[in-house]
Structure 1
Amino acid sequence: MLRSLAGLSSLPWVIMGDFSDLLHHYEKRDLVPHSDWLITGFRNAVADSGLQDFPFTGPQFTWERFRGTADMVEEKLDRILTSDSWTSLFDGATACSFITPYSDHIPLLLIPVMVTQECRRCRFCFDNVWLREDKCREIIAQSWDRTVGMDVLRRIEACSYDV
């Protein structure tokens, strides 16, 4: 699935779930290490798809087996992957994990917070073709009459706000 997303990284993507694989060796606590080729393959698939691991607070090992025994295994199999465009769009997003006694997986909660960009007013540019419009001519005349005594640049600026 990740390889099929290659080339779509300009779109805002978020993928959450059980990937059943690791990005790093420290994402597993066990006596038997995870295979290097599996970690490298998964890491390459994530990178090739234009996604990155979205951090979350709380317990990082999201799956466990043989809890309470000497053979206990803990791994970070569940994760959130996002594209750069999603991360930019939801710049205030946060995520966390929760402990649950009913599953061998820990649920993840993603809170997407869209940061609104301050709307900046574009620079006003006058076009002579507007003078052909009666309403435009009326607005300009009223603004020009209202700003008598101001310098020309301030009058033009005031006119731009009246439009």
Structure 2
Amino acid sequence: MDFLVHEEDKEWRVTGFYGWPTVADRHLSWELLKVLEKQSTLPWLCIGDFNEILYSTEMKGGSRAQWQMNNFQAAVDECGLKDVGWEGYMFSFDNGQSGDANRQSRIDRAMSTEAWLDLFPYAKLINLDREWSDHAPIKLVFDRREACHTVKRRFKFEQIWVGEEG
């Protein structure tokens, strides 16, 4: 998903990104990212599941090959993207295993160009609580007031709960 946003006095671009899940194909993600970057000079936000980490500190349990992170870092640098910043639990993905088999990582993120950060200097990504999925939902907030109100959670009823004992 890639589209333009026209606001009163701002125009910018947002891309919803999903990186290839298989390591052997991950280079296609970075090639796509580079192609997308060249399509516009507007301030750009790229948000989604990149299926990769930038640094080894973004993974808990297990390890990642340095070349994988290097390839992602090189694409991010070439595209002029910077991490928007985040709040909440660091790891947005959890494989659901217990003990030594548990793997957690920060593969869901928001990155943008410096020009986009200039438009939204208080923007940040909120990693919400993971409930049913192996990924935590993410929410992008644009200003301080919205970030302050994100802590409050509305109750939502899910029909599937009727079938769950607990």
TM-score by length of 1: 0.63
Contact 2:84 2:123 in 1 (8 A): no
Superimposed CA distance per residue, residues 7-45 of structure 1 (whole angstroms, 9 cap, x where no aligned partner):
567421111110000100011111x32001000000000
Q: 2:118 & 2:39 partners in 1: Cα distance?
A: 15
Is the partner of 2:100 in helix, strand or coil?
coil
CA contact (8 A) 1:93 1:112 kept: yes
Whichever structure has more strand as a proportion of its residues is 2
Partner residue, 2:77: 47
Match of 2:142 in 1: 112
1:14 aligns with 2:45: yes
Q: Which runs of 5+ in 2 are unaligned?
A: 1-31, 144-166
In structure 2, C-alpha distance between the alignment counterparts of 1:44 and 1:94, rounded to whole Å = 23
Query: Please, which of 57, 65, 87 is the counterpart of residue 26 of structure 1?
Result: 57
Take 1:9 and 1:52, find their aligned partners in 2: how far apart are those partners?
17
Amino acid aligned to 1:49:
C
Counterpart CA distance in 1 for 2:67 and 2:140 is: 30
Structure 1: gaps spanning 5 or more residues? 114-163
Aligned match of 1:4: 35
| Residue correspondences, number | 113
Query: Relative contact order (alpha carbons < 8 A, sep ≥ 6): 1 or 2 greater?
Result: 1
The alignment's C-alpha RMSD in Å is 1.9
| Cα distance between partner residues in 2 of 1:8 and 1:83 | 14
Larger radius of gyration: 1
Q: Percent identity?
A: 28
* 1:73-152 to 2 correspondences below 5 Å: 73-113=103-143
Equivalent residue for 2:100, pick from 58, 65, 70: 70
**TM-score (norm: length of structure 2):** 0.62
Does the CA contact (< 8 Å) of 2:81 and 2:114 recur in 1?
yes
Shift of 1:2: 1.4
Amino acid at match of 2:125: A
Alpha-carbon distance between aligned partners in 2 of 1:68 and 1:28, rounded to the nearest angstrom: 15
The 1:66–1:94 alpha-carbon spacing in structure 2 relative to 1, beyond 3 Å, is closer
Q: Which residue of 2 aligns with 1:154?
A: none
Match of residue 25 from structure 2: none
Work out whether residues 92 and 112 of structure 1, in 8 Å CA contact, stay in contact via their aligned partners in 2.
Answer: yes
Post-superposition CA distance 1:94-126 (Å, at most 9, x none): 32111121110011111124xxxxxxxxxxxxx
